[in-house]
Every structure is written in structure tokens, then in C-alpha cells.
Chain A
């Protein structure tokens, strides 16, 4: 071993003797020094910033209205703290009408007396300045003015120890008191905000993000991007240039003859030299990663070992290019040829990657990939990722388009379709929701009938923010929404079929068709929300913001709470829920399946199914014995609800499954873009396959692009491995789909590029070894 270790040691010596290394280390040091002083500090949300007040004019109006009343009120306290001049400014501000300003301008006295928008802006500034003053007051709180019981617990805690509050806590209390003065006039803000600082400077206005959100952003966006750019592109390029002469130099006549005259194995000499060639990269990448790791840990408290794990990954990335550079180096003995070929490889890999991931997948695969299948009245119906509903035509073995989703901005929402056998209709909820987990969801209820060519028509209006549509064993249509559980009065039917009088629907002209059926008036279900119905008992399981609820139907047909289970961890994690047999199954973003008792929701078991992915679809079989969970990594798990056993479903296409459903005794699984396989649930025996002939582009994708992509090294995709190591998630999630598990999330496939690249490197090294063993120098 000694000779080979000597070669590796010599490579390190060579690297440290290189001026380029020291220049690069200097550059890295400067980058680290520039980044290090940047810090994020969590602080209590105390001040008000623009946009915090929903309608400032209305706010002032309400303040004034309450301030004139003869009783002490929080509003009066606020108003009275302001001097007369501010009050006058605010009154003018409140009375300002944009049309007046325009009229004034038309009459030519726009500049006179400061009328117009200037006054409005002045008033607005005065309002925020006034609030700022109040927030900073030491004795703003007066006992007896605020009803303590109506204040949030946080404020009550501050009040209880109000002599010992820090400046920030006092300001925080004042802010809560102001918010509580006129309820509903303030946009909600988290308790915590962040302040961004650099050296001794700090932004005076805090940013409306929590420390957790910021950490997650830094972890999933800032660090991976920084690493990709600094190391993945700049670093590797420099390393290729710097190391390209190493092998050609070794093969110069006066050098190689002496080397080969020593008692050494040629291949081993080459491999040692190859390993040693990575020394340069190791020193640079190691320094940068350790530096970033320390900064992330010391400055942000994010001790992420993923950053350290990036060192071997980047080394590996470099070794892909270096394997080709070294091979060409021994054949042509020219650094220039080595660099040219390494960069050619880089380009080729990039082009293949772009064709597969950037062109074929979104335009050939995603557009036609089925994400939902359902059988309605003997017809197989599938919905694609893009919301196109298609029906299977067995005569021609092809999918026929029957309905296209009307995208109206935001993230698309599709509930169902559910086959309502009692009326022989397909029920569908379609609409949109706001991205980034912000509230707001609008869904319209639609129905379609096979006899009418599955033409979807708008049906009864759904309750606000409906998240699930369920059909119980009696055929009643239930909607689970933010406000609770609602039951459709009558049958689902197109709006045009409803009895109308003078254009107004009858008989429930004054009443919504969906009626709340909850015995508890106060119980509501904020997002993230999902719900499922026990096909046997009719119980409903609901997951809402970190808590699972079990609702049972009483004799009057109202639902009352018969059990809850509070999940630990971030309550904003979205989850899917299913109920059947002996278990309620909840699968949250952490990829675990939590099994709860269907009687009282006590915890039965936790099963870590896909620790690095998130669930996308969940369903229970009609007999309640099986629950299937499809994850975003396109793997389908089956849970036996009676025994609690979990296993990967033994169906074909695991890793490429895009949708599934239980239909009676059968399990329908969609894979390979738009193929549906029909299995018997009991033994998962394949019954029928609905497989359309592949289009030319699909054939090109499956038989040309995919195989080439598979065997090619994927240096670009190693970024995914890096991202996975840092975020520990196999699926891309930049927060856009926060709280929504149904949207397609990009699969990182973090280990695929590792093994395909490893094979490439091995082949290159083997070729080089054969060459060096056979060549006569």
C-alpha cells in the first residue's frame, strides 16, 4: 500500500503547492466572511407595518365611533392618547374619498390646502406613527378597560406580570391590546417576527415571517442554491481546469518511465493518482462546506449535517468529470484535450437532462399522467395531472377526453370525482386555492351523468372552503369545510334542474342547500383540512390543523365529536386521513402513517412508511379492511386495518404509480403515464389492463430518452442529492404547496444519479486501467 499512499500524499502536496488553491481558498474565505455577519433574529411582533390594518379608514371610523361613547373602552383609550392635531389629521383621513380628490383636481384646486391624495397619505403615516407611539408607552394598559377574558392567553400572561416585562414584551402587550380594541380590523400576524441583521446593523422593521419559516427557507432554498452555484458550477469548473494537467504530466517520458520502473501495479498507480487528483477539490469543497456549516450553526442555529455530507457528493460530482479528463489525459497526454472533453461531457449530460426532465416530463408525461381513476356505471374514468377528465373507450383501447378543468389561477383543487350510484352521477368539486398555505379556497360543485356524455354541470353551491365531499352509505352527500360538516338537502343535481321561481331557486331560496349538521356550534376545522368517511359505520374522521377528530352521527343525524387526537410537531403540516376497519389512518407530511383507534382516536401505532416523501392520495377499501397510501415518490403502500400491517403493494409500476382507487372488490392502479391495471383486492391478482397504445412521443420517452438518461451520468441531478441531504425530503417543496398534498411535487430521486454516475465513473476508470496496463510507454 505504501507506494499508492505516497502517490495520494504527493497529490495533496501538489495541491497545497498550487497557487490556484490558495487563491480559491482566499476567495472562499472572503465569501464566508461576507456571509457570516448576516444574521436572522427572532423577535416578538411588536410594531405595525403597512398592510397590518385591513381598512385603515374604517379602523379610524370605528375608533372614533366608540371613543365618543360615554363608557371607557379600549378604542376610547387609544383615541384619547393621541393629541388634537393627530386626531384632526386622522378625521380628515377617515373622511377622504378618492372621488373627491379627483373632482377637486378637475375643478383645478387640487393643490390648494393639501387636499387630495397627499392628505390621505399623510393621514396614513400619522395613523401608523400614532400606533407606534402607543406600542412604546409604558402604561398603555389600564385595568378595567379591556375585558381580560377576551384577550388571548399570551396577553393575559403579560398582564399578570406587567411590572416585570421587558421592553419588547411590553410593546408586544400593547400591540395585542390595540389589536383587541377593534377586533377583525387587523390582519393576523404571527407572535414572532424576524429581524435581519448585518454586523451591528439591524432592519428596524421586522419581517412578517417566523423564525421557523425563515430557517426552513434558509435550509431548503438559500443553502442548496448557494452550494449549487458556488461548488456545483464555479468550483467544479475551476477544479477541472486546475487538475487537467495532472495526468498528462505524469505520463511525460522522464516521469512515467521512472514511476513504472518502481515495484508498483500500473492500475493501482493510476487509481491512486485519480484519487489524489480529487485532493484539490476536497480541500476547496471541504473548506467551503465546513465554513457554511459553522455559519449556519453558529449564526442561525441550524446544525445541518447535510451540508457536511455534501463534501463527498461534490467530490463525487467532480470525479465524474475527472474520470473522463484522466482517461483522455493518458490517451492524448494533453491537458487541453482533457478540458475540452470534460466540458463536452458536461454539455451532453446537461442536454440529456434537459430533454428528459425539462421537456419530455412536463410536456409528454405530466400532461397525460393519470392521477385519479374511478369507475362510474361501468365506465372507467381517469383524470390527468392537468385536470383533463377522460373516459376509457374499450372498443378502440384509448382515452377519450370528456371534461377539461377550468383553471382560474391559484393552485388547482379537484375533489373527487366520486361516483354517486343512487343518482348514477359523478360528483366533482373543482376550484382553486391560494398558494404558500395562505387561506382561501373556492370550490364549485359539479355533477355529470353518463347518459349525457359525462358533461359536467354546476350543481348546488358548496359551503365556504370545502375540503372534502363524502357520500355515506345512505347516499347522502356531505361536505366537510372550514365551518364543519354539511349535508346536502336533497339530491345532487345541476343548478338548472332546481325549481326556480322568477329565476330564483326554490324551495330553499333563503337557505343554502348544504346544511351544517354538527351538534357542537363552535367546532370548526381550519386548514390544513382533510376528511374521510367510514364506509361501514358512517363515522367521519377529520384532520384539521394538527388535530384528528372523530365525528359520530347521532339519532337526529347530527355529527358530534367522539374523540380527538392532537399530533405533536408543526400543526401546519398537511395530512391525509382515511378510516376503515380497526383503524383511522392519518398520513402527514413526515411520511409516517399514524394508526388511531376508530372508537376514540387513541394512538394505536406509528408506521414510518416513507420518511423522505409525503403522501399524495389516501383511500380505504369499501369493506374498510385496507387503506392505501400513495406517496409523492409514486410508491403505493397498503395497510391492513385489521392487523395494522403495512407493506408496499405488490402491484406493478411501483415508483411510477400516479393514482389508485378502490372500486368494490377491486383495486385500480394507474402507472406508466396512463395505463390502468385492475387487481382483485384480496390477493392483488391482476385482472384487466387498460393500456392505450403509446404515442410516438411517449415511445421516444420510454424507449429512447429514458434509457439514455438512465445510463448517462447525471452530474446535474446530483444537485437533487445535495438538496435531499440538506432538506431530507425526496420531493421538492419550496413552500408553494404548503398545506396541500395533492399538487404534483417533483421527485428528487436523490440516489438515482449517484448510482448511474458511479457506474459511469467505474467504466471510465476500468477503461483507463485496461489502457494503462496494455500500453507501451
Chain B
């Protein structure tokens, strides 16, 4: 058993369309990365980036055009691999005639689980995802959030090793999102691998160990959230120490003109007036020495410092930065 749950190298997918299949569209342009067992991995990308194509290749729903893709040590699409995957598709549709219970029975059987095991597990599972009270109601009466919870339950029913979730928190309220994050960390604790496909970058940042950024079929970055955000700290290097590079956000009390005078030649990146005598100011490229000087000057000008903080780059910043690079 290798250490990677998913390993792709130079994976390519080209769709042929049109009457004589002449129109070709490259959805994946040679992607290589791996997802380690036991980690939560997020795949980020805009619409049309190739995320769903990638997942479909992993699941064998479509065939790759070139390159290699291994899932749980089997070629992607192999039914032995599919046996060990729990998948939650985007916009899940459950046949309308099923109830919560019968839907789990149906999907469980499709995954090869015996009726006895299904009956043992479905109650606790629905309890866990929070729809146990509606277990016997037809799914046509379920809200989108409830359907999504049912989808998560069916993905967990056959106790797979790898979870592939396509927008798992789509349609969920903030509380439910937080619950889902809880499931994911629980699963990780159980040693499961989770491959997440999401638009919601804050969530990915919160739960993912590593992320990959895909844009127009090209893999832009792979790494931990810290690595990505660090490389995208928006500051010029003054002494070559990236750890010290950060914007300073000051919350100041004083008139605007007094503050401006006190700051003198310092470059401000953002100025927000909260009232006539209260302002929030971001100052770029400061190392500790400059910060100390700055505070001295402000105090000397009798300007009160209500708050001071270092501004950390978010995944969103990193993502936008990476995608912007592509645009440039």
C-alpha cells in the first residue's frame, strides 16, 4: 500500500465535440500531484477550471485522454477503487420516491453493503448528519440542505477509505457548515482521506491540510495553506526575511490631518475613516524597527493608538494572487 491515496501524473483530458467531433476542448492540460493518505485535500478553481472533470476521471465516469491516475493504488475508475470511495456529487438528485431510509438502503446496496449492515448503520448515520427525525419521510419533502446531509450519509454508509466531496457545504446554513467541518475532521481522525472540491475558500482554509489550485486545466500550485498564503504575502522584501513581512493595521484616535502629519513619509495602503477622530490605517512594508519608530511618532503627535495588528494573508488572497498571475 503506497502512501498516496490519489496520484496523478501528466493527466490530460480533451473533449471532442461537434458534428464530426472536430471541435476539441482541453479540460485538463497535464496535471501531476498526489494526495496522501489520511489528509484533507482541497482542490480549488473557478468555473471551467477542470475540477469536476478531474473528479469524474478519478471515479471512472469519464476516461482520461493521456497521463496516469491512480486511486487507492488502483487505476482510476477500477471498480475495486470505487468500492472504497464515498462520493458526494454536486447537486445531488435522489429519486423522489425514496425516503431517507430507503435511499440509504438503495445506495448501500449499490455499494455492495448487505441489508443487515445497512440497517445497523443507517439510523446512527442519519442521526449524525441530523436528519434522523425525517428518516421515514419521502425525500421529495426534503430541503436542499437535508438532501446534502443525506448525500453525506450515503457517502459514509459503506465505510470507504477515500471521500470525494464535490461542494459538500453547498446549500447549507452556517451551523450546518460548521457541522460538516466537524464530520471532516472526525473522518480525518479515523484515518480517512478526504478530497474536497469547494468554492468556499474560507472553509478550505479552515479544514484542508493541503490544497491544489487549478485554473483553466493547468495546475498552478500545490501545497499547504500556510505555504500558499506565505508566498502570497503582499509586501516587498526589505530584509529578505519573509516571516517579518506584513502589513500593519493601526486603529487610531485623532484628527485625520494630525495623523497624516505624524505618518509623514510612510506609505499607507488603506485609509478608512470610522469617524472624524477615529481612523483605520494600513501601512505597508514595516519591519519591527519601523513599527517602533512609527509608534513613537504617533505618540509624540498625541495620537492615541486604539489598536495595532499585523495583517495575515488569507487563502483567498493567495488564490486571487495566483489567478491574477495567470491573467497577467
Contact = CB atoms under 8 A, between A and B. Distances in A.
Contacts of A69: none
B87 interface: yes
Interface string B78-121: 01101101010111111101100010011101111010000000
A2 interface: yes
A204 interface: no
B60 interface: yes
Nearest to A258: B89
Interface string B45-82: 00000000000100111110000000000000001101
Contacts of A261: 59-61, 82, 85, 87, 89, 164
Contacts of B15: 776
Contacts of A257: 56, 59, 61, 87, 89
A17 B102 CA distance: 12
A258 B86 CA distance: 10
Contact of A254 (B90, B110, B114): B90
A33 interface: no
B109 A3 contact: yes
B61 A254 contact: no
B54 to A, nearest CB: 13
A493 to B, nearest CB: 82
A263 B111 contact: yes
A777 interface: yes
B110 A255 contact: no
Nearest to B82: A263
Interface stretch (A6-14, A540-548, A751-759): A6-14
Contacts of B98: 10, 13
A264 interface: yes
A257 to B, nearest CB: 5
Contacts of A17: 97, 138
A5 interface: yes
Contact of B93 (A255, A260, A263): A255
Contacts of B154: 258
A259 interface: yes
Interface residues of A, number: 28
Contacts of B105: 6
A23 to B, nearest CB: 16
Contacts of A777: 56, 61-62
Contact of B110 (A253, A256, A262): A262
B62 A776 contact: yes
Nearest to B147: A254
A519 interface: no
Interface string A733-752: 00000000000000000000
Contacts of A14: 95, 97
A259 B110 contact: yes
A259 B90 CA distance: 13
Nearest to A17: B97
A263 B93 CA distance: 19
A258 B87 contact: yes
Given A14-B95, A260-B61, A6 B90 contact: no
A732 interface: no
A699 to B, nearest CB: 39
Interface residues of B, number: 34
B296 to A, nearest CB: 62
B107 to A, nearest CB: 7
A258 B79 CA distance: 14
B109 A13 contact: no
Contacts of A258: 87, 89, 92, 107, 154
Nearest to A259: B110
B196 to A, nearest CB: 16
A160 B91 CA distance: 89
B155 to A, nearest CB: 9
B283 to A, nearest CB: 49
A537 interface: no
A263 B112 contact: yes
A3 B89 contact: no
A13 B80 CA distance: 29
B109 A252 contact: no
Interface in A1-43: 2-3, 5-7, 9-10, 13-14, 17-18
A249 B94 CA distance: 10
Contacts of B111: 3, 262-263
A13 B98 CA distance: 8
Contact of B95 (A3, A255, A265, A776): A255
Contacts of B89: 253-254, 257-258, 261
B282 to A, nearest CB: 44
- Which residue, A5, A10, A261, A264, has most C-beta atoms of chain B within 10 A? A261
Given A249-B95, A254-B93, A776 B110 contact: no
A776 B61 CA distance: 7
A13 B138 CA distance: 12
Nearest to A257: B89
A253 B112 contact: no
Contacts of A256: 61
A148 to B, nearest CB: 76
Given A2-B109, A6-B109, A263 B79 contact: yes
A264 B82 CA distance: 9
Contacts of A5: 109
Contacts of A260: 59-61
A256 B90 CA distance: 12
Contacts of B110: 3, 6-7, 259, 262, 264
Given A5-B109, A262-B111, A254 B82 contact: no
B63 A10 contact: no
B112 A3 contact: yes
Interface string A237-261: 0000000000001001111111111
Contacts of A3: 109-112
Interface string A325-362: 00000000000000000000000000000000000000
B102 A13 contact: yes
B99 to A, nearest CB: 10
Nearest to B96: A17
A18 B140 CA distance: 13
B73 to A, nearest CB: 15
B278 to A, nearest CB: 50
Nearest to A3: B110
Interface in B300-328: none
Contact of B80 (A253, A254, A259, A263): A263
Contacts of B97: 13-14, 17-18
Nearest to B62: A776
A2 B115 CA distance: 10
A10 B95 contact: yes
Interface in A247-299: 249, 252-265
Interface in A97-133: none
B197 to A, nearest CB: 12
A249 B98 CA distance: 14
B82 A262 contact: yes
Nearest to A13: B97
Nearest to A269: B110
Given A13-B97, A13-B98, A262-B82, A6 B106 contact: yes
B63 A776 contact: yes
A526 B21 CA distance: 79
A262 B77 CA distance: 10
A258 B111 CA distance: 11
A369 to B, nearest CB: 51
18 contacts: A2-B114, A6-B106, A7-B110, A10-B95, A13-B97, A13-B98, A14-B97, A249-B95, A253-B91, A253-B93, A258-B87, A258-B154, A259-B110, A260-B61, A261-B61, A263-B112, A264-B79, A264-B110
Nearest 8 pairs of A and B residues by beta carbon = A6-B109, A254-B93, A17-B97, A776-B62, A262-B110, A254-B91, A263-B79, A263-B83
Interface of B: 15, 56, 59-63, 79-80, 82-83, 85, 87, 89-95, 97-98, 102, 105-107, 109-112, 114, 138, 154, 164
Interface of A: 2-3, 5-7, 9-10, 13-14, 17-18, 249, 252-265, 776-777
